[in-house]
Amino acid sequence: MKIAVNKRRSLWWGISSALLIIGIISMVISTFNPQIKAPLRPGLDFIGGTRLQLERDCTQPGNCDKPIDINAVREIAQARGLGDASIQLITDEETKQENGILIRSKDLSPEQRTQLENALAEKIGAFDPEKKSIDTVGPTLGRELFTSGLTALFLSLIGILVYLRIRFQWDYAVFAIVALFHDVLITIGVFSILGFFGVEVDSLFVVALLTIVGFSVNDTVVIYDRIRETAQIEKGRSITEIVDDAVDQTLARSINTTFTTMLTLFAIFLFGGETLKIFSLSLIVGFTMGAYSSIFIASTLLAWWRQRSEKGTPPPNTESVAT
């Protein structure tokens, strides 16, 4: 069964455009959100500071009878000069009740943390010391991690562009990079939306983006390789037919590769713990979009450009020469 991707390329481009626009709008809204102030909700790795997680001790009688008043928590934080701190309620997985709080603020000294914890305990109830979690990252280290991550992503894209130019032609390389930007931007857009629900991105997210770039370009190279081989052998065929055949011939491989990879990623997402959950989710989104862009975006863009170039090429001179 032939897909004929070029016949419906307006549909594929429309879907991608809609996803990109939604993601960009979310990033703009997130940037102006006073609780986030960035396109994505940055984790402690990037902005530095202290993250304090506390959960009430429900073994004490009456300690968890009343729900936590988040406004009361904000008042206590503001009274200690932490008015710009990010405060979230945490749901207990066993009781399904919001018995914990997560506070992300500027760097706090041990004495400041103890004073804050005592004030909160007096207001909303005693906390379980075994479930207390404290993370601290300096702002300088956070900036270095962010800069290093962006640099690594930029250099990887440049390296891929150079490699594809050497192996193929400029138009192949350019549209492969366009597909990579497509995958990265949609993944960022999804996590920008998730940021409104408290999902933060950390240094592992940058690692995930680099992995997505490598996975996506691999599928694109396979399809482009088949297009180039077919174009060299069957020079009389139109580029749309060649691209459609190349996609059909490599479709099973692309789907099987993505599916088997997804099985592992879903296992990590479900059983890998909180640390790897966001990492695996970003890979699931990115790999899905990578397979989509390789099949429906990179290939159709190349066919469209080659068609456009062929139409602009003047026909050969067939005027006979008298002998």
Residue 51 has pLDDT above 60, yes or no: yes
CATH number among 3.40.50.80, 3.40.250.10, 3.30.70.3220, 3.40.50.2300, domain 49-137: 3.30.70.3220
Q: How confident is the model at residue 233 (pLDDT cuts 50, 70, 90)?
A: confident
Q: How confident is the model at residue 318 (pLDDT cuts 50, 70, 90)?
A: very low
Residue 52 has pLDDT above 60, yes or no: yes
Q: How many CB atoms lie within 10 A of CB 304?
A: 17
**How confident is the model over 265-276, as a mean pLDDT?**
85
What is the homologous superfamily of the domain 5-37+140-310 according to CATH?
Multidrug efflux transporter AcrB transmembrane domain (1.20.1640.10)
Residue 138 has pLDDT above 70, yes or no: no
pLDDT digits (tens, 9 = 90+) for 68-86: 888 888 888 888 887 767 7
Q: Per-domain residue ranges for the chain?
A: 5-37+140-310, 49-137
pTM, two decimal places: 0.76
Residue 319 has pLDDT above 70, yes or no: no
Residue 322 has pLDDT above 60, yes or no: no
**How confident is the model over 161-168, as a mean pLDDT?**
86
Q: How confident is the model at residue 65 (pLDDT cuts 50, 70, 90)?
A: confident
Q: Which long-range contacts (CB under 8 A, 24 or more apart) does 91-99 make?
A: 92/55, 92/58, 95/58, 95/64, 97/64, 97/67, 98/67, 98/68, 99/55, 99/56, 99/58, 99/64, 99/68
**How confident is the model over 127-132, as a mean pLDDT?**
86
Q: What share of the chain is helix, strand, coil (3-state, %, to 5)?
A: 65, 10, 25
Q: How confident is the model at residue 142 (pLDDT cuts 50, 70, 90)?
A: low
Cα dihedral across residues 140, 100, 132, 79: positive or negative: positive
The fraction of the chain above a pLDDT of 70, given in percent, is 92
pLDDT for res 139:
60
pLDDT for res 148:
83
pLDDT for res 312:
53
List the alpha helices (DSSP H) in 125-238. Answer: 139-167, 170-195, 203-233
pLDDT for res 260:
93
Residue 313 has pLDDT above 80, yes or no: no
pLDDT for res 259:
92
pLDDT for res 19:
96
pLDDT for res 134:
84
| Strands ordered across the beta sheet of 98-105 | 86-91, 98-105, 49-55, 133-137
Q: In the structure encoding, which two tokens stand for residue 162, read together?
A: 């150079």
Residue 152 has pLDDT above 50, yes or no: yes
Angle between helices 9-32 and 170-195 (to 10 degrees): 50
**How confident is the model over 295-317, as a mean pLDDT?**
78
**How confident is the model over 48-64, as a mean pLDDT?**
84
Residue 122 has pLDDT above 90, yes or no: no
Residue 143 has pLDDT above 90, yes or no: no
Task: Please state, in angstroms and rounded to a whole number, the distance separating the CA atoms of residues 220 and 176.
Answer: 7
pLDDT for res 265:
94
Most trustworthy range by pLDDT among 130-139, 164-173, 180-189: 180-189
Task: Please state, in angstroms and rounded to a whole number, the distance separating the CA atoms of residues 247 and 250.
Answer: 5
**How confident is the model over 107-129, as a mean pLDDT?**
86
pLDDT for res 235:
79
